[in-house]
């Protein structure tokens, strides 16, 4: 047997004969020829089987293999610029490792609920493969950033006795007969550890009971929470920006094939490598309401323009669908042409449902822009309006203290505001990071704990941190799945994690 290699390494084996091991991801046949798209986890490549180069038995085996059969292939690697990986394999021999009968996911369009039910298999598909590889690059990049900046990684507990982010989303569980909660955030423990280590970060699962279906909320998600002693809110923002730009750069440098596979237009990722605009809540509200322009553009004008363009786009798609359908109805087309038109129609219908969704959303965005009430927290719509005006994430800080968490520091110059910062991703994605400077005044903290109706006894240890050598400190929480969703430009957060847990979904 020749040398076993990974598909991702094939370009360095051009001209030689190697062994590949993987699964049949796709297959096409013609007269005397079969094309197998082989995947091995590291990549995908086209393998060509002919009788001349191999033999009749191998050709027939190739023609008979079904989707997701596991196989070993020996073949010669040839350069081919038309292929995504830049190579093609001329097959000499094929051996079947494991049969695959009636694989449930076919090339035809499946509904998302069906695919979610088949998540354990769906992960094998090209697009899901690419997303998971990008997720992996992001995770590695985050660790590299913090380790290189000399942060100490810490693991916060999952069973907790306190609510960090409000009581409405707590998952209660039984801890030896006493109530306990699944952690919503490791932050409070991170603060304790930062007083021991200086700079720390957590990287762990967090849980929130979000009792509705949205495209941004999971019940179980992974959060990265750094906490830094002697950092104020501005140093905190520098760290957020440094970390996110490191992540974006690593994805751009290492995931070109994956980004192409999912069809990600990377221009916004590239423009996010310049510094992120920073603005106070006050300024952000003015921008949302159209009282302040961004690069000469007012929110309301932008949205009205978008509404007009989207309506025109809908008309265009509708007439194109009609046109294709009438061509099929006229008859006289070859089977291949009918398939071509049918595929095109399905694609157009998908586009149409996106456009229709925009048409439902834009009036809500306009409503945000026209009627946002100063003092409120931002909802998804408000975030969309704001971020549509920028081509990179934006940071909004100094929020009305009433709408933010109990632990945020009051702005010493204006006590109406708490020193929280939210980072909102562009292209309509909204919040990916929430953080801020922490309150150091123990009396203000106690007041806030009462105001939020939290049980004081669960916070005694936390208050100790303000009694014994309290220092200014800051931190933030990055929602991993939110970042993956934005970087991959996914429609829904459920595709950003291998096995999503969310309202209405516990299996597989
Ligand atoms: O803004 P949040 O609630 O902040 C905290 O938990 C702080 N304790 C973080 C800190 O300062 N250490 O959550 C932080 C981030 C959000 O910006 C969002 O990206 C993500 O966590 N997030 C969720 N992601 C998916 N599903 C959910 N249900 C999420 N809730 C929050
Ligand atoms: Mg938040």
> What residue segments make up the domains of the chain, in order of their start?
7-98, 121-289+380-496, 302-362
Q: What is the pLDDT of residue 143?
A: 98
Burial of 255 (0-12, 13-18, 19+ CB in 10 A): buried
| Residue closest by Cα to atom 24 of ligand 1 | 479
Atom of ligand 1 at shortest range from CA of 436: 11
For ligand 1, whether the C-beta of 217 sits within 6 Å is yes
For ligand 1, whether the C-beta of 475 sits within 6 Å is yes
For ligand 1, whether the C-beta of 221 sits within 6 Å is yes
Q: What is the pLDDT of residue 96?
A: 95
Residue 191 φ then ψ, to 5°: -65, -45
Atom of ligand 1 at shortest range from CA of 432: 19
Q: What is the pLDDT of residue 166?
A: 86
Architecture, CATH, for domain 302-362? Orthogonal Bundle (1.10)
Question: Could you tell which of 164, 185, 222, 436 is best to mutate to test the pocket of ligand 1, judged by most ligand atoms within 8 Å of the CB?
Answer: 185
C-alpha distances (whole Å) from 268 to each of 3, 248, 264, 388, 484 are: 41, 10, 10, 12, 14
Atom of ligand 1 at shortest range from CA of 225: 12
- Please say whether the beta carbons of 189 and 168 come within 8 A: no
The segments of the chain whose pLDDT lies below 70 read: none
Ligand 2 centroid – CA 384 distance (Å): 15
Ligand nearest to the CA of 164: 1
CATH fold group of domain 121-289+380-496: BirA Bifunctional Protein; domain 2 (3.30.930)
Q: What is the pLDDT of residue 1?
A: 81
Residues 242, 247, 253: CA angle, nearest 5 degrees: 120
Question: Could you tell which of 169, 236, 477 is best to mutate to test the pocket of ligand 1, judged by most ligand atoms within 8 Å of the CB?
Answer: 477
For ligand 1, whether the C-beta of 404 sits within 6 Å is no
Task: Sheet with 178-182: list strands edge to edge.
Answer: 159-160, 178-182, 172-175
Residue from 32, 33, 106, 119 nearest 66 by CA: 106
For ligand 1, whether the C-beta of 117 sits within 6 Å is no
Q: What is the pLDDT of residue 97?
A: 97
The structure's pTM equals: 0.95
Ligand 1 centroid – CA 433 distance (Å): 7
Q: What is the pLDDT of residue 106?
A: 87
For ligand 1, whether the C-beta of 432 sits within 6 Å is yes
For ligand 1, whether the C-beta of 481 sits within 6 Å is yes
- Radius of gyration (C-alpha) of the chain in whole angstroms: 27
| Residue closest by Cα to atom 30 of ligand 1 | 217
| Residue closest by Cα to atom 29 of ligand 1 | 217
Ligand nearest to the CA of 430: 1
Tell me if the domain spanning 7-98 has CATH number 3.40.640.10: no
Ligand 1 centroid – CA 55 distance (Å): 58
Which is it for strands 44-50 and 87-98: parallel, antiparallel or unpaired? parallel
Ligand 1 centroid – CA 479 distance (Å): 6
Q: For residue 37, how many other CB atoms are within 10 A of its CB?
A: 18
Q: What is the pLDDT of residue 85?
A: 84
């Amino acid at each position: 047997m020749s040398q076993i290699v990974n598909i991702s390494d094939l370009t360095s084996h051009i001209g030689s004969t190697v062994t590949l091991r993987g699964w049949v991801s796709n297959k096409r046949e013609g007269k005397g020829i079969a094309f197998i798209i082989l995947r091995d986890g590291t990549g995908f490549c086209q393998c060509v089987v002919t009788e001349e180069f191999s033999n009749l038995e191998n050709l027939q085996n190739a023609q008979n293999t079904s989707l997701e059969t596991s196989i070993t292939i020996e073949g010669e690697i040839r350069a081919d610029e038309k292929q995504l990986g830049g190579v093609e394999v001329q097959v000499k021999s094929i051996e079947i490792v494991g049969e695959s009968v009636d694989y449930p996911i076919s090339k035809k369009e499946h509904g998302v609920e069906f695919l979610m039910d088949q998540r354990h298999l769906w992960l094998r598909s090209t697009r899901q493969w690419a997303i998971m590889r990008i997720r992996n690059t992001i995770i590695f990049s985050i660790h590299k950033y913090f380790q290189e900046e000399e942060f100490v990684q810490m693991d916060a507990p999952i069973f907790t006795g306190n609510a960090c982010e409000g009581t409405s989303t707590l998952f209660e569980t039984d801890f030896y007969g006493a109530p306990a909660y699944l952690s919503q955030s490791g932050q409070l423990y991170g603060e304790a550890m930062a007083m021991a280590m200086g700079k720390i970060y957590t990287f762990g699962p967090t849980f929130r009971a979000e009792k509705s279906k949205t495209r941004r909320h999971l019940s179980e998600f992974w959060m990265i929470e750094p906490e830094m002693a002697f950092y104020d809110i501005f140093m905190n923002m520098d760290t957020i920006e440094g970390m996110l730009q490191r992540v974006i750069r690593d994805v751009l440098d290492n995931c070109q094939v994956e980004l192409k596979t999912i069809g990600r237009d990377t221009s916004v990722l590239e423009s996010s490598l310049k510094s992120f605009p920073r603005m106070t809540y006050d300024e952000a509200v003015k921008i949302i309401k159209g009282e302040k322009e961004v690069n000469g553009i007012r929110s309301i004008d932008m949205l009205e323009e978008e509404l007009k363009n989207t309506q025109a786009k809908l008309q265009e798609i509708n007439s194109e669908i009609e046109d294709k359908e009438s061509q099929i109805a006229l008859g006289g087309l070859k089977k291949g042409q009918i398939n071509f038109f049918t595929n095109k129609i399905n694609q157009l219908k998908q586009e149409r449902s996106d456009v229709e969704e925009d048409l439902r959303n834009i009036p809500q965005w306009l409503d945000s822009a026209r009627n946002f009430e100063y003092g409120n927290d931002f909802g998804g719509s408000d975030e969309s309006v704001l971020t549509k005006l920028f081509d990179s994430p934006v940071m909004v800080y100094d929020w009305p203290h009433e709408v933010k968490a109990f632990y945020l520091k009051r702005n010493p110059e204006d006590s109406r505001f708490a020193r929280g910062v939210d980072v909102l991703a562009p292209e309509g994605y909204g919040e990916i990071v929430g953080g801020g400077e922490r309150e150091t005044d123990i009396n203000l903290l106690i007041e806030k704990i009462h105001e939020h109706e939290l049980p004081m006894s669960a916070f005694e240890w936390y208050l100790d941190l303000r009694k014994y050598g309290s220092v200014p400190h800051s931190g933030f929480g990055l929602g991993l799945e939110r970042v993956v969703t934005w970087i991959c430009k996914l429609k829904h957060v459920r595709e950003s994690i291998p096995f999503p847990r969310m309202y209405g979904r516990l299996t597989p």
